[in-house]
Structure 1
Amino acid sequence: MVAINGLEMARQVYYNLTPAQLVELACGRGEAVLTDSGALRVTTGKYTGRSPNDKFVVDTPAVHNDIAWGTNKPFDQEKFERLYHRMLAYLQNREVFVFDGFAGADEQHRITVRFINEFAWHNLFVHQLFVRPQGPVSDFAPDFQVICLPGFKAVPEIDGTNSEAFIILNFERRIVLIGGTHYAGEMKKSIFTVMNYLLPQKGILSMHCSANVGVKGDVALFFGLSGTGKTTLSADPNRRLIGDDEHGWNDNGVFNIEGGCYAKCIRLSRENEPQIWEAIRFGAVLENVVIDPVTRTPDYDSDEITENTRAAYPIDHIPNALIPGVAGHPKTIIFLTADAFGVLPPVAKLTKEQAMYHFLSGYTSKLAGTERGVTEPEATFSACFGAPFLPLSPLVYAKLLGEKLEKHNTSVFLINTGWSGGPYGIGKRMNIPYTRAMVTAAIEGLLDKVAYELDPVFNVYVPIECPGVPVDLLKPRNTWADKDAYDRQAQELARLFAKNFAKFSGNIPVEVVAAGPRTV
């Protein structure tokens, strides 16, 4: 029996095991099986994604005035302490897995994190997703501790939770409690939420984005909600990957918060995403991917378990990854949106004020069939392209963005990876080679050499030409057979933007408000 961090009653504590040891234990304990590529395959039961309604922040005097209550749900201090001690008691006479690592590739701004897991595969997940110590760990003093026990289910009437599942962050105690859900992504996003609380207090912009860098040191950032192409478009064989999801931007440049990648792999193919395909090998974790019971070959086209199938792997599984993930200031920022209404321009250049407007809006579309009850495209707005992970007001992050854009003269582009020629069901999804051509032109500065026209509805600057893209495609109204239908749909989306943005009114500069779409 090993005594560590209140785990004196645990039967066995496995401390900082290697991936090989964790894979062996996960298989031996019946938690997982190996696929034909050597990746570990697991299923997560009823929870195949995050549970935002089950996430809370402990309301303490030290943080009360900082937290954006409303988007963040408060949790009682006393109930947290009772739950914390019940979880420690739950571990009595059980096997426990501990991983000590870092969040933040920049050594000046990283935090130390200790993960305490009930499952070996969960411990492998955090080992691969976070920054791993170089060499043996000794005298590790965690800044934050995450206790993740899927088998421990809350009792809402007693514990004050909304269900059996819970994710509770206590910034004062520096503890995160996770229970009732097997979905490993809760650990990853909990620490991202922690960094979204800590970094802005140091003048560092924390960002939900992917990042890569060219041979000349030119850094590009890609913001976008799920389904917009953030991971796919940032995986470029001609550029080095800094990270695929979470970054900080300080006075020296950008840095990856993580040490691994967590890619959606529904309909993954070697032809379209070769880097991700090859990264799914020994040491990787596949969540909820259907596999052949005999050959153990994954069926990435199947959504039998969930559409949200995932692959987790260390970033060094990507051959051209930048390690450590630290680079200079961004030359280019790209906001990605998948507009299912088919009215946004495929590419537009944004002023600082327009960039702050669209950053605060965080727009994309949900498609019919992707969620129960969604029968036609729905506009979705997620502030800063990551509202569920923002403990502070979105205005804090937008202000930091505006300051950094101005200081470093960073170019910002809005790229629509959604529909053209009509809405979803009538038009067609933007051709991927065209989208890649727009991204390349933006990053390589080719769009700095062309003329622009102001879109009369969406109030953004649209290039009159783009290398590798048909001219008519650049103006979405030209691609619609029914121009009146386009005008009605464009106005409808403009009104949705305005309605969403109204919640920020009175708290931001008028020039940022004026940078949004124009309604009639």
Structure 2
Amino acid sequence: MKEIGLKSKSHDLKHTGVNTSEKVYWNQTPAELVELALANGEGQLADNGALMCDTGSFTGRSPKDRFIVKDSLTENEVWWGDINIPFDEDKFDLLHQKMLDNLKSKKLYVRDAYAGADKTYRLKLRVINTKAWHNLFCHNMFLRPDIYKLEYFEPNFTIICDPDFKADPKTDGTRQENFAIINFTKRMILVGGTAYAGEMKKGIFSVLNFLLPTEHHVLPMHCSANIGHETLDTAIFFGLSGTGKTTLSADANRGLIGDDEHAWTEKNVFNFEGGCYAKVIDLTRQKEPEIYDAIKFGAIVENTRFIPESRTIDYTNTSVTENTRTAYPIHHILNAVEPSVGGIPKNVFFLTCDAYGVLPPISRLNKGQAMYHFISGYTAKVAGTEAGVTEPQTVFSACFGAPFLPLHPTRYAEMLGEKMEKNDVNVWLVNTGWTGGPYGVGSRMKLQYTRAMITAALTGTLENAGYRKHSIFHFEIPAVCPGVPSKVLSPRETWQNDKGYYDMANKLAEAFNKNFDKYKEFASEETKAASPKKNLNFV
């Protein structure tokens, strides 16, 4: 094989079992990878310098085709089920060999990288791609070693990604032709049949969600994190899509540690990644200036389209998918912190977009409530998004990242509770959704109010605000907050009638408890005690 670029002298490609008669491009720069991708016909260059690529028939992850090899290491550790689907060891070995055979006649793009800004816990990755733009994606999303370290780089986890390789479900043990399979014992991920680059990123996130708790008792988190420029106080933001996680963590007055994946150790919080993978649907500079300006040369945009007769990206175009995205290195964000490490958090925020208008705009949680709401991972979708849907729909995702949790959610929740108690951390539930009634009746919480409440929490202003307990959810609601009308702080007071509010609140409480039933068996008594209880005065 002809090898181009800076490669490791101590651990070459054959150590991974890979051989090819074509060229192998090692650790290429963004400029080189963009040139290769354009020459291969893998994408087009936009007028802002970004490389625009399509992911083919898969415009998102395929959760039902993500597997974990079941063996002596994982059998009694992994939370098996619809999320973590077992895969046979022998089938993995056969499929792995078929992929290796298929690579023998292909050009390859190889990258050595890190996952984890704290070198004590980081993975040393080797990513083997058949597409140049996928290798650029990995350059952007994972951490980039210093050049001198590449010479003797020895990986301890490998990703092989070949979107053109399709499995045969009849013989290979997969559900369909596409697959993403994690083997913890062989420390390897195989991805085939899909060109959606996020499978590689989230595959490594799942790996760290297994290894960090089981090997180091470190808490992995699906969250964003930032830090005060002067006070150096770290804050963590959990939240599902549409809750405002990216918007609220991207604060010009604070440094961005990372926007998606982190770990909480005994000494710090650190980012897993070296970049950001943000949605760009309806993106404007006015709404998201940091993201908009980060999309430049070296960045990738996925499944977008140009304004006709131009090379200007039309971010409103959903002809391919609504899940249009961009991947860029974190230094494209001006206030990014490098290395991406912060201290022990002082404040943790659970963001929810409650379309029922029930939850307070901000409330303080005790340890049991924090564990309960962490396991719940609640938000709500508004009505009208699907035919026949006439009222809000509840969404629960354990630990705000259920698809990426190899272990039972209560294990992560107990670790959060331990850290909260040990470090005297405040945990806040923040509703960025509706007030004064549900979607269609009330109104969306003003962003200026949400920012004011988060600022008050970060600065300690809410410590002495005076609190009252919610009669159903029992968390504490502050009586006052600078910059926010007192009436707004109490959701019941924003409704036109008490019965209407409590009917809706009781309904939401019932949904919480029904969702929590599947976790009860392994939950602590303290967590179970935090379950909401109906207000029987309005039943």
Fold in common (TM above 0.5): yes
Letter in 2 for 1:56: F
Q: 1:157 aligns with which of 160, 170, 186?
A: 170
Cα displacement string for residues 400-437 of structure 1 (whole angstroms, at most 9, x for unaligned residues): 11111111111110001111122122222211111111
Q: 2:304 aligns with which of 270, 278, 289?
A: 289
Shift in Å, 1:328: 0.6
Counterpart in 2 of 1:209?
A: 223
The 3-state SS of whatever aligns with 1:228 is: coil
Shift in Å, 1:375: 5.4
Provide structure 1 residue ranges, at least 5 long, that are not aligned to the other structure.
none
Shift in Å, 1:231: 1.0
Q: Compare 37-46 and 99-108 and name the one that shifted more.
A: 37-46
Provide the rounded CA distance (Å) in 2 between the counterparts of 1:133 and 1:350. 40
The question of 1:31 aligning with 2:42 is answered yes
Provide the rounded CA distance (Å) in 2 between the counterparts of 1:20 and 1:501. 49
Q: Could you tell me whether the CA contact under 8 Å between 1:221 and 1:333 is conserved in 2?
A: yes
Could you tell me the percent identity over the aligned residues? Answer: 55
Q: Could you tell me whether the CA contact under 8 Å between 1:381 and 1:500 is conserved in 2?
A: yes
Letter in 2 for 1:478: E
Provide the rounded CA distance (Å) in 2 between the counterparts of 1:482 and 1:310. 42
Provide structure 2 residue ranges, at least 5 long, that are not aligned to the other structure.
3-12
List aligned pairs for 1:433-444, cutoff 5 A: 433-444=448-459
Shift in Å, 1:258: 0.5
Cα displacement string for residues 213-264 of structure 1 (whole angstroms, at most 9, x for unaligned residues): 0021100000011111111110011100000000011111100111111111
List aligned pairs for 1:375-386, cutoff 5 A: 376-386=391-401
The question of 1:188 aligning with 2:201 is answered yes
Shift in Å, 1:498: 0.6
Shift in Å, 1:516: 2.4
Shift in Å, 1:165: 1.4
The 3-state SS of whatever aligns with 1:505 is: helix
Q: 1:174 aligns with which of 187, 190, 193?
A: 187
Letter in 2 for 1:147: I
The question of 1:126 aligning with 2:138 is answered yes
Q: 1:17 aligns with which of 28, 40, 51?
A: 28
Counterpart in 1 of 2:276?
A: 261
The question of 1:108 aligning with 2:108 is answered no
Q: 2:412 aligns with which of 388, 397, 401?
A: 397
Provide the rounded CA distance (Å) in 1 between the counterparts of 2:96 and 2:386. 34
Provide the rounded CA distance (Å) in 2 between the counterparts of 1:275 and 1:348. 29
Shift in Å, 1:276: 0.9
List aligned pairs for 1:51-450, cutoff 5 A: 51-70=62-81, 71-136=83-148, 137-201=150-214, 202-214=216-228, 215-368=230-383, 370=385, 376-450=391-465
Q: Could you tell me whether the CA contact under 8 Å between 2:257 and 2:336 is conserved in 1?
A: yes
List aligned pairs for 1:34-53, cutoff 5 A: 34-53=45-64
Q: Could you tell me whether the CA contact under 8 Å between 1:26 and 1:121 is conserved in 2?
A: yes
Provide the rounded CA distance (Å) in 2 between the counterparts of 1:183 and 1:374. 29
Counterpart in 1 of 2:471?
A: 456
Letter in 2 for 1:34: L
Letter in 1 for 2:174: T
Letter in 1 for 2:297: F
Cα displacement string for residues 424-455 of structure 1 (whole angstroms, at most 9, x for unaligned residues): 22222211111111111111111112011101
Provide the rounded CA distance (Å) in 1 between the counterparts of 2:102 and 2:489. 59
Provide the rounded CA distance (Å) in 2 between the counterparts of 1:41 and 1:117. 18
Provide the rounded CA distance (Å) in 2 between the counterparts of 1:497 and 1:359. 12
Shift in Å, 1:483: 3.1
The 3-state SS of whatever aligns with 1:332 is: strand
Cα displacement string for residues 458-485 of structure 1 (whole angstroms, at most 9, x for unaligned residues): 2111111111112111111222224322
Counterpart in 1 of 2:10?
A: none
Provide the rounded CA distance (Å) in 1 between the counterparts of 2:386 and 2:300. 25
Letter in 2 for 1:325: S
Q: Compare 505-514 and 357-366 and name the one that shifted more.
A: 505-514
Letter in 2 for 1:142: P
Shift in Å, 1:92: 2.2
